[in-house]
Structure 1
Amino acid sequence: MVVRRVLPTSPVGVEYFLTPLGESLREPFGRLYDWTVNNADEIRAHQRDYEQRVQS
């Protein structure tokens, strides 16, 4: 899904790029990212509630 290519430079460089299979994940991962950003406050609130219950 990801190709790693070492570049013959000094210092040595490394390049990464997605294969076609990796590219096919761009849209679903983008939607997951958007969902996370849109729900971050609620997710954090639930995490705080959980941590308070566990510590009690």
Structure 2
Amino acid sequence: VRYGKQRPGDEVVEHDGRVVLLMAKSISRMLQHKVLDVRQTADGPKLGLRLERKGPAAC
């Protein structure tokens, strides 16, 4: 992951109308069924990937 400008063909992820993530289509395909998540650790919040849950959401 690095800071950069949008390139032709990039996948764009937006949140509240703002671009928060750009990635090449090849990376996007590898990350199918994964969710970018924030985990709280002893060292503070960390970004991580987890598998997407299938089926009905837990209540």
**What TM-score results when the alignment is normalised by the length of structure 1?**
0.25
User: Would you tell me which structure has more helix in proportion to its own residues?
Assistant: 1
| Structure number with larger C-alpha Rg | 1
TM (norm. structure 2) is: 0.25
Higher relative contact order (CA 8 A, sep 6+): 1
Q: Which has the higher strand share?
A: 2
